[in-house]
Structure 1
């Protein structure tokens, strides 16, 4: 049996501008490289490797976490670093999603930007959390920098301008806001989620939810917000009962996908209990049980 070894070039950029310049110069034969966990499995997905990868790991800007409201998280922040951040309750869902994702070895290298940019990866844990947190992405390309909301980026991901890289995510962190995240796997930690849920709410002093943002991942081919579930949470306190009702509303508005890990009907059937678990985690600055 013989095998073909593909030789690729890796260039290490020292600034965002240098990375953008190289990608523009090299054209379609090049791609940015973050943690590399998605690139390593390109062969399993039947995708060719790029001839040249522009590595972003030596760029300080894309690894930094700054600000308070919004909190600006560099695109190359790893899942391990995200799970260890001292974030306000508003961003609890992101910390929890990073903590529960994959295995420690993967979390140590997988990045926020890589999780967002992985096309065809319905199970990406950070994406529903970031949707519920109303993330806006800072992007840099040959034409300069721009900021777009995450939902827009996901819808346009396959048609974004060539040579563009993700610099950071901007996350609102109002003092009245709190969030939580929950996921379900087949056997336990480390596996891809069958379904995942992120809840972010603003609450009045008496606990009444004044606004809500809910996102579901892994149920459909692309994570998305669930307007019916959000409406079900507004005007009532966040509790196990109201969370389950919101989960039922989300199940009704989703068109679930079937796969080897779970049939479509099961992905929506578990949503009420996952909503209850995510609601119980809102406002906690450390992850709860696995």
Structure 2
């Protein structure tokens, strides 16, 4: 609910707002969401799409690392012995950002799949990232190149043919798990749907009707 976060990183704010119940949101922390390193965590795809950086500290000193590559497996990270996560840095980028997820219940559900988009109008670049699409938060250079090429940067419109290409690339690239909640085939299909939905919203200026 912090206005500064909502203004600088609206995709992150939207993902945080979708976390559990108000009680959970009052008690949960950004750092806990990150270091738990579970594939369904809401904030991880947004941080990946934003090129977030993490500050890790221990008695021996401090180091800054990219979030990309920080999660190495479900529940495992590159935290060293005695290290704690003390700060997260995300860039304030111009352009559309959003986060969406699919699950069993509206407000308090764990994400069956999730996706985030960051449209950087200054760099003319689109980044998409996904949750529960692989053992770790997932993005693809090939998907991002196709998403970037789908945008008419002069008008902000997103070409329908480009959206369709991205949807198919996502479905080919992801390696989602199968469990008691959903099959891998369902997740693969749904991840494509979310990617298309985010790009259509971006082209419509952020309308939820897209």
Fold shared per TM-score above 0.5: yes
Residue from 100, 103, 112 that aligns with 2:30? 112
Matched, 1:152 2:69: yes
Residue from 180, 186, 189 that aligns with 1:260? 180
**How many matched pairs?**
201
**What is the rounded CA distance, in whole Å, between the counterparts of 1:273 and 1:262 in structure 2?**
15
Does the aligned pair in 2 maintain the 1:214–1:227 contact within 8 Å?
Answer: no
Q: Secondary structure at the match of 2:125?
A: strand
Matched, 1:202 2:116: no
Question: Within 5 Å, which residues of 2 pair with 1:56-67?
Answer: none
Q: TM-score, normalised by structure 1?
A: 0.62
Match of 1:15 in 2: none
- Structure 2: which 5+ residue stretches go unaligned? 152-156
- Compared CA separation, residues 158 and 171, structure 1 to 2 (3 A): closer
**What is the rounded CA distance, in whole Å, between the counterparts of 1:224 and 1:111 in structure 2?**
22
Match of 1:246 in 2: 166
Matched, 1:188 2:110: no
Deviation readout 1:146-183 (Å, 9 max, x if unpaired): 100002321384453211111111111133x4311111
Question: Within 5 Å, which residues of 2 pair with 1:226-237?
Answer: 226-237=140-151
Residue from 117, 133, 158 that aligns with 1:219? 133
**What is the rounded CA distance, in whole Å, between the counterparts of 2:58 and 2:127 in structure 1?**
30
Greater alpha carbon shift after TM alignment, 184-193 vs 235-244: 235-244
- Structure 1: which 5+ residue stretches go unaligned? 1-80
Matched, 1:276 2:193: no
Does the aligned pair in 1 maintain the 2:158–2:202 contact within 8 Å?
Answer: no
Deviation readout 1:97-149 (Å, 9 max, x if unpaired): 11122222211111110000004x21000000000000000111122111000
Q: TM-score, normalised by structure 2?
A: 0.83
Match of 1:54 in 2: none
- Compared CA separation, residues 246 and 83, structure 1 to 2 (3 A): farther
Match of 1:128 in 2: 45
- Superposition deviation, residue 248 in structure 1: 2.2
Matched, 1:172 2:91: yes
**What is the rounded CA distance, in whole Å, between the counterparts of 1:287 and 1:125 in structure 2?**
21
Does the aligned pair in 2 maintain the 1:185–1:192 contact within 8 Å?
Answer: yes
Query: Considering only aligned residues, what root-mean-square deviation do their CA atoms show, in Å?
Result: 2.8
**What is the rounded CA distance, in whole Å, between the counterparts of 1:158 and 1:100 in structure 2?**
24
Greater radius of gyration (CA): 1
